[in-house]
Structure 1
């Protein structure tokens, strides 16, 4: 496949509670950058193509990667955040469905 874009896969550390009982949100860091191809997509196309009912706005083609999971947060090169909504694995690549976060 031809991968001309990239997504940054984020990881979020666990939040902490300090001595005063104040909760502090975990810190986001980039786990890895994933080369990919990003295409516009829709919930209607996802249902027509695969029979799944999920809210999606983008379709990503990338190599198989066990770090990409449903619910993961990714950021594209323009800084737009997405949530991974559905993953369809094939023999040597993945279709990853994203929704604007």
Structure 2
């Protein structure tokens, strides 16, 4: 799974609600824009709660959980990156963060 930061100001992207962060999942590089409701990152796991649309678009369950093993400095950088990406774009699409 990959998250990207979007900063669209193009009217077409705004109309399509693609003016926010994007989550991409394999296989098939399925993409979903602004469909994460909640993101929780602890010392040993990342959990995402997706909207019904996001779940369908990505082919994932509504709640996904990724076990993690990271050094403290890597975890801190990951938290900063997740915060930067998931708070980009349209305000109405921002998830609740527990980092």
TM-score tier, shorter chain, comes to under 0.3
TM-score (norm 2): 0.27
More helix by share: 2
TM-score (norm 1): 0.26
The structure number with the bigger radius of gyration is 1
Higher relative contact order (CA 8 A, sep 6+): 2
